[in-house]
Chain A
Amino acid sequence: AQKITQTQPGMFVQEKEAVTLDCTYDTSDPSYGLFWYKQPSSGEMIFLIYQGSYDQQNATEGRYSLNFQKARKSANLVISASQLGDSAMYFCAIPSGGSNYKLTFGKGTLLTVNP
Chain B
Amino acid sequence: DTEVTQTPKHLVMGMTNKKSLKCEQHMGHRAMYWYKQKAKKPPELMFVYSYEKLSINESVPSRFSPECPNSSLLNLHLHALQPEDSALYLCASSPRRWAASPNYGYTFGSGTRLTVV
Contact = CB atoms under 8 A, between A and B. Distances in A.
Given A50-B102, A52-B101, A95-B100, A102 B42 contact: no
A99 B97 contact: yes
Contact of A101 (B43, B99, B105, B111): B99
B43 A43 contact: no
Interface string A70-108: 000000000000000000000100010101111101111
Interface size class, chain B = 20 to 34
Contacts of B97: 99, 101
B99 A42 contact: no
Interface of B: 2, 33, 41-43, 45, 48, 55-56, 58, 88, 90, 92, 97-102, 105-111, 113
Interface of A: 31-33, 35, 37, 42-47, 50, 52, 91, 95, 97, 99-103, 105-108
